[in-house]
Amino acid sequence: MDPNGSVAIVTGGASGLGAATASLLAGAGATVVVLDLPRSQGEHLAQTLPGGRGRFAPADVQDEAQVQQAVDMACDAGDLRILVNCAGIGTPAKVVGRDRTPMPLEHFTRVVGVNLFGTFNCIRLAAAHMVGNTPTQDGERGVIVNTASIAAFDGQIGQSPYSASKGGIVGMTLPLARDLMREGVRVCTIAPGIFDTPLMMGAPENVRSALAAGVPFPSRFGRPQEYAELALHIVSNTYLNGEVIRIDGALRMPPR
Protein backbone atom coordinates (compact mmCIF):
# COMPACT_ATOMS: atom_id res chain seq x y z
CA MET A 1 0.00 0.00 0.00
CA ASP A 2 1.41 3.35 -1.03
CA PRO A 3 0.86 5.84 1.80
CA ASN A 4 1.05 8.73 -0.66
CA GLY A 5 -2.49 9.88 -1.30
CA SER A 6 -4.01 7.46 1.20
CA VAL A 7 -5.80 8.33 4.44
CA ALA A 8 -4.58 6.77 7.69
CA ILE A 9 -5.93 6.61 11.23
CA VAL A 10 -3.38 6.27 14.03
CA THR A 11 -4.88 5.51 17.44
CA GLY A 12 -2.95 6.71 20.46
CA GLY A 13 -1.42 9.05 17.90
CA ALA A 14 -0.78 12.00 20.19
CA SER A 15 2.39 10.64 21.79
CA GLY A 16 5.03 7.92 21.79
CA LEU A 17 4.83 5.20 19.15
CA GLY A 18 1.65 6.66 17.67
CA ALA A 19 3.04 10.17 17.26
CA ALA A 20 6.18 8.89 15.54
CA THR A 21 4.06 6.77 13.19
CA ALA A 22 1.67 9.61 12.40
CA SER A 23 4.60 11.85 11.53
CA LEU A 24 6.26 9.26 9.30
CA LEU A 25 3.02 8.46 7.46
CA ALA A 26 2.29 12.15 6.87
CA GLY A 27 5.84 12.62 5.64
CA ALA A 28 5.21 9.79 3.16
CA GLY A 29 2.20 11.65 1.77
CA ALA A 30 -0.70 10.22 3.77
CA THR A 31 -3.43 12.31 5.34
CA VAL A 32 -3.37 11.23 8.98
CA VAL A 33 -6.23 11.28 11.44
CA VAL A 34 -4.74 11.32 14.94
CA LEU A 35 -7.19 9.51 17.20
CA ASP A 36 -6.59 10.09 20.90
CA LEU A 37 -8.33 11.18 24.06
CA PRO A 38 -9.74 14.74 24.18
CA ARG A 39 -7.27 15.69 26.93
CA SER A 40 -4.27 14.57 24.85
CA GLN A 41 -1.94 16.67 22.72
CA GLY A 42 -3.62 15.31 19.60
CA GLU A 43 -4.79 18.67 18.27
CA HIS A 44 -1.31 20.16 18.57
CA LEU A 45 0.35 17.15 16.96
CA ALA A 46 -2.13 17.08 14.07
CA GLN A 47 -1.40 20.73 13.33
CA THR A 48 2.35 20.10 13.17
CA LEU A 49 2.36 17.02 10.92
CA PRO A 50 4.30 17.34 7.65
CA GLY A 51 2.48 18.93 4.73
CA GLY A 52 -0.44 20.06 6.89
CA ARG A 53 -1.89 16.59 6.43
CA GLY A 54 -3.02 16.08 10.03
CA ARG A 55 -6.51 15.90 11.51
CA PHE A 56 -7.43 15.33 15.15
CA ALA A 57 -10.27 13.04 16.20
CA PRO A 58 -10.87 13.12 19.97
CA ALA A 59 -12.06 9.66 20.93
CA ASP A 60 -11.86 6.78 23.38
CA VAL A 61 -11.06 3.62 21.42
CA GLN A 62 -13.70 1.73 23.41
CA ASP A 63 -16.49 4.11 22.39
CA GLU A 64 -18.27 2.96 19.24
CA ALA A 65 -19.82 6.33 18.38
CA GLN A 66 -16.61 8.29 18.92
CA VAL A 67 -14.51 5.90 16.84
CA GLN A 68 -17.16 5.93 14.11
CA GLN A 69 -16.90 9.72 14.01
CA ALA A 70 -13.13 9.40 13.57
CA VAL A 71 -13.63 6.90 10.73
CA ASP A 72 -16.15 9.23 9.08
CA MET A 73 -13.66 12.09 9.37
CA ALA A 74 -11.02 9.95 7.68
CA CYS A 75 -13.39 8.92 4.88
CA ASP A 76 -14.33 12.57 4.29
CA ALA A 77 -10.64 13.24 3.58
CA GLY A 78 -10.32 10.47 0.98
CA ASP A 79 -9.88 6.69 0.86
CA LEU A 80 -9.25 5.26 4.33
CA ARG A 81 -6.67 2.59 3.56
CA ILE A 82 -4.42 2.49 6.64
CA LEU A 83 -5.11 1.88 10.34
CA VAL A 84 -2.32 1.74 12.92
CA ASN A 85 -3.48 0.85 16.45
CA CYS A 86 -1.12 2.23 19.08
CA ALA A 87 -3.54 3.16 21.88
CA GLY A 88 -2.96 1.22 25.07
CA ILE A 89 -2.43 1.26 28.83
CA GLY A 90 -0.43 -0.97 31.17
CA THR A 91 -0.73 -0.32 34.90
CA PRO A 92 0.90 -3.26 36.75
CA ALA A 93 -0.81 -5.20 39.53
CA LYS A 94 -0.36 -8.65 41.08
CA VAL A 95 -3.26 -11.06 41.14
CA VAL A 96 -3.06 -11.15 44.96
CA GLY A 97 -1.61 -8.19 46.86
CA ARG A 98 0.68 -8.16 49.88
CA ASP A 99 -2.36 -7.90 52.17
CA ARG A 100 -3.89 -11.00 50.51
CA THR A 101 -6.57 -9.01 48.72
CA PRO A 102 -7.33 -10.09 45.15
CA MET A 103 -6.71 -7.76 42.26
CA PRO A 104 -9.86 -5.70 41.67
CA LEU A 105 -11.66 -7.14 38.67
CA GLU A 106 -12.15 -3.59 37.39
CA HIS A 107 -8.38 -3.27 36.97
CA PHE A 108 -8.22 -6.32 34.71
CA THR A 109 -11.26 -5.36 32.68
CA ARG A 110 -10.01 -1.79 32.17
CA VAL A 111 -6.65 -2.88 30.75
CA VAL A 112 -8.20 -5.54 28.54
CA GLY A 113 -10.97 -3.13 27.57
CA VAL A 114 -8.63 -0.44 26.27
CA ASN A 115 -5.95 -2.66 24.77
CA LEU A 116 -7.91 -5.55 23.28
CA PHE A 117 -11.54 -4.47 22.96
CA GLY A 118 -10.47 -0.97 21.90
CA THR A 119 -8.15 -2.35 19.23
CA PHE A 120 -10.87 -4.62 17.86
CA ASN A 121 -13.43 -1.81 17.93
CA CYS A 122 -11.21 0.34 15.72
CA ILE A 123 -10.44 -2.58 13.40
CA ARG A 124 -14.05 -3.53 12.76
CA LEU A 125 -15.21 0.03 12.08
CA ALA A 126 -12.25 0.95 9.86
CA ALA A 127 -12.33 -2.36 7.97
CA ALA A 128 -16.01 -1.86 7.12
CA HIS A 129 -14.95 1.14 5.04
CA MET A 130 -11.71 -0.32 3.69
CA VAL A 131 -13.50 -3.23 2.00
CA GLY A 132 -15.35 -0.74 -0.21
CA ASN A 133 -12.19 0.90 -1.56
CA THR A 134 -11.15 0.53 -5.18
CA PRO A 135 -8.43 -2.16 -5.16
CA THR A 136 -4.84 -1.41 -6.14
CA GLN A 137 -3.08 -3.31 -8.92
CA ASP A 138 -2.33 -6.06 -6.36
CA GLY A 139 -5.98 -6.18 -5.32
CA GLU A 140 -5.25 -4.43 -2.03
CA ARG A 141 -7.86 -2.24 -0.36
CA GLY A 142 -6.37 -1.62 3.07
CA VAL A 143 -3.82 -2.53 5.72
CA ILE A 144 -4.14 -2.72 9.50
CA VAL A 145 -1.16 -2.66 11.86
CA ASN A 146 -1.78 -3.53 15.51
CA THR A 147 0.48 -3.09 18.53
CA ALA A 148 0.97 -5.98 20.92
CA SER A 149 4.04 -6.34 23.16
CA ILE A 150 6.70 -8.89 23.99
CA ALA A 151 4.72 -9.17 27.24
CA ALA A 152 2.33 -11.30 25.20
CA PHE A 153 5.08 -13.94 25.24
CA ASP A 154 7.31 -12.99 28.21
CA GLY A 155 4.91 -11.44 30.70
CA GLN A 156 6.50 -10.35 33.97
CA ILE A 157 5.27 -10.34 37.54
CA GLY A 158 2.32 -7.95 37.78
CA GLN A 159 1.58 -8.06 34.05
CA SER A 160 -1.30 -10.54 33.91
CA PRO A 161 -3.88 -8.00 32.63
CA TYR A 162 -1.42 -6.39 30.20
CA SER A 163 -0.10 -9.73 28.91
CA ALA A 164 -3.62 -11.07 28.49
CA SER A 165 -4.66 -8.02 26.48
CA LYS A 166 -1.59 -8.11 24.25
CA GLY A 167 -1.79 -11.90 23.90
CA GLY A 168 -5.33 -11.39 22.62
CA ILE A 169 -4.06 -9.04 19.93
CA VAL A 170 -1.44 -11.60 18.90
CA GLY A 171 -4.03 -14.36 18.84
CA MET A 172 -6.51 -12.52 16.63
CA THR A 173 -3.96 -11.35 14.05
CA LEU A 174 -4.09 -14.39 11.78
CA PRO A 175 -7.88 -14.94 11.94
CA LEU A 176 -8.44 -11.25 11.18
CA ALA A 177 -6.15 -11.53 8.16
CA ARG A 178 -8.12 -14.59 7.05
CA ASP A 179 -11.45 -12.84 7.65
CA LEU A 180 -10.41 -9.99 5.36
CA MET A 181 -8.31 -11.82 2.75
CA ARG A 182 -11.00 -11.89 0.06
CA GLU A 183 -11.52 -8.16 0.47
CA GLY A 184 -7.81 -7.40 0.04
CA VAL A 185 -7.21 -6.02 3.55
CA ARG A 186 -4.00 -7.11 5.28
CA VAL A 187 -3.52 -7.38 9.05
CA CYS A 188 -0.17 -7.53 10.89
CA THR A 189 0.93 -6.93 14.47
CA ILE A 190 4.10 -5.41 15.93
CA ALA A 191 5.26 -6.65 19.34
CA PRO A 192 7.64 -4.01 20.76
CA GLY A 193 10.10 -4.55 23.58
CA ILE A 194 11.02 -1.67 25.91
CA PHE A 195 10.68 1.64 24.09
CA ASP A 196 11.37 5.22 25.06
CA THR A 197 7.74 6.24 25.38
CA PRO A 198 6.21 8.71 27.87
CA LEU A 199 5.44 5.80 30.22
CA MET A 200 9.09 4.76 30.43
CA MET A 201 10.44 8.33 30.46
CA GLY A 202 8.93 8.73 33.92
CA ALA A 203 10.91 5.83 35.40
CA PRO A 204 13.90 6.58 37.67
CA GLU A 205 17.23 6.65 35.84
CA ASN A 206 18.59 3.63 37.69
CA VAL A 207 15.56 1.61 36.59
CA ARG A 208 15.93 2.79 33.02
CA SER A 209 19.61 1.91 32.98
CA ALA A 210 18.98 -1.57 34.36
CA LEU A 211 16.26 -2.24 31.78
CA ALA A 212 18.41 -1.02 28.91
CA ALA A 213 21.35 -3.15 30.04
CA GLY A 214 19.16 -6.25 29.77
CA VAL A 215 18.66 -5.82 26.03
CA PRO A 216 21.21 -8.02 24.19
CA PHE A 217 21.85 -5.64 21.28
CA PRO A 218 21.63 -2.76 20.98
CA SER A 219 21.61 -2.34 24.78
CA ARG A 220 19.24 0.59 24.92
CA PHE A 221 15.58 1.43 24.74
CA GLY A 222 13.89 1.24 21.37
CA ARG A 223 13.17 4.55 19.70
CA PRO A 224 9.63 5.41 18.59
CA GLN A 225 11.04 6.21 15.15
CA GLU A 226 12.18 2.58 14.85
CA TYR A 227 8.67 1.34 15.57
CA ALA A 228 7.29 3.83 13.04
CA GLU A 229 9.73 2.66 10.37
CA LEU A 230 8.59 -0.93 10.86
CA ALA A 231 4.93 0.11 10.70
CA LEU A 232 5.60 2.00 7.47
CA HIS A 233 7.39 -1.02 6.02
CA ILE A 234 4.41 -3.25 6.82
CA VAL A 235 2.12 -0.74 5.14
CA SER A 236 4.34 -0.66 2.04
CA ASN A 237 5.15 -4.39 1.75
CA THR A 238 2.08 -6.07 0.28
CA TYR A 239 3.32 -9.60 0.97
CA LEU A 240 3.38 -9.10 4.75
CA ASN A 241 0.11 -10.43 6.11
CA GLY A 242 -1.13 -12.31 9.18
CA GLU A 243 2.25 -11.92 10.89
CA VAL A 244 3.38 -10.84 14.37
CA ILE A 245 6.81 -9.18 14.34
CA ARG A 246 8.88 -8.62 17.47
CA ILE A 247 11.05 -5.50 17.61
CA ASP A 248 13.01 -5.84 20.83
CA GLY A 249 16.79 -6.10 20.34
CA ALA A 250 16.53 -9.87 21.05
CA LEU A 251 15.21 -9.20 24.57
CA ARG A 252 13.45 -12.01 26.42
CA MET A 253 11.97 -10.60 29.59
CA PRO A 254 12.85 -12.23 32.95
CA PRO A 255 10.15 -12.78 35.62
CA ARG A 256 10.81 -9.36 37.17
Q: According to the model, what pLDDT value does residue 36 have?
A: 98
What would the DSSP string read from start to end of 110-150? HHHIIIIIHHHHHHHHHHHHHTTSPP-TTS--EEEEEE--T
Lowest mean pLDDT among 122-126, 197-201, 240-244: 197-201
In a domain, 122, yes or no: yes
Instruction: Report the alpha-carbon angle 40-44-47, nearest 5.
Output: 140
In a domain, 204, yes or no: no
**Mean pLDDT score across all residues of the chain:** 95
Nearest to 163 by CA among 150, 152, 177, 147: 152
Is residue 76 pLDDT above 80, yes or no? Answer: yes
The answer to whether 188 and 217 are in contact (CB under 8 A) is no
Is residue 95 pLDDT above 90, yes or no? Answer: yes
Considering the entire predicted model, what is its pTM? 0.96
Q: What total of structural domains would you count in the chain?
A: 1
Q: According to the model, what pLDDT value does residue 210 have?
A: 83
Q: According to the model, what pLDDT value does residue 198 have?
A: 77
In a domain, 254, yes or no: no
In a domain, 106, yes or no: yes
In a domain, 213, yes or no: no
Catalytically active residues are 162
In a domain, 229, yes or no: yes
- Indicate which CATH number applies to the domain containing 154: 3.40.50.720
Query: For the residues 99-109, what does the mean pLDDT come to?
Result: 95
224-236 and 16-27 helices, crossing angle to 10°: 50
212-221: long-range contacts at Cβ-Cβ below 8 A with a sequence spacing of 24 or more? Answer: 214/251, 214/254, 215/248, 215/249, 215/250, 215/251, 216/249, 216/250, 216/251, 217/249, 217/250, 218/249, 219/249, 220/249, 221/194, 221/195, 221/196
Q: Identity (one letter) of the amino acid at 49?
A: L
Q: According to the model, what pLDDT value does residue 206 have?
A: 79
**Sign (positive or negative) of CA dihedral 12, 16, 19, 23:** negative
The residue segments making up the domain with residue 178 are: 7-195+222-245
Burial of 242 (0-12, 13-18, 19+ CB in 10 A): middle
In a domain, 184, yes or no: yes
Query: For the residues 207-233, what does the mean pLDDT come to?
Result: 93
The answer to whether 88 and 33 are in contact (CB under 8 A) is no
Q: According to the model, what pLDDT value does residue 91 have?
A: 87
Is residue 101 pLDDT above 80, yes or no? Answer: yes
Query: For the residues 74-102, what does the mean pLDDT come to?
Result: 95
The answer to whether 168 and 116 are in contact (CB under 8 A) is yes
Q: Identity (one letter) of the amino acid at 63?
A: D
Write out pLDDT tens, residues 179-212.
Answer: 999 999 999 999 999 999 876 776 678 778 888 8
Backbone φ/ψ region at 197: left (φ over 0), alpha (ψ -120 to 50), beta = beta
Write out pLDDT tens, residues 153-178.
Answer: 999 999 999 999 999 999 999 999 99
Q: According to the model, what pLDDT value does residue 202 have?
A: 67
What would the DSSP string read from start to end of 208-256? HHHHHHTSSSS-SPBPHHHHHHHHHHHHH-TT--S-EEEESTT------
In a domain, 119, yes or no: yes
Q: According to the model, what pLDDT value does residue 173 have?
A: 98
Q: According to the model, what pLDDT value does residue 79 have?
A: 96
CA pair distance 190, 136, nearest whole angstrom = 24
Is residue 23 pLDDT above 90, yes or no? Answer: yes
CA pair distance 87, 134, nearest whole angstrom = 28
Compute CA distances 196 → 42, 209, 224, whole Å: 19, 12, 7
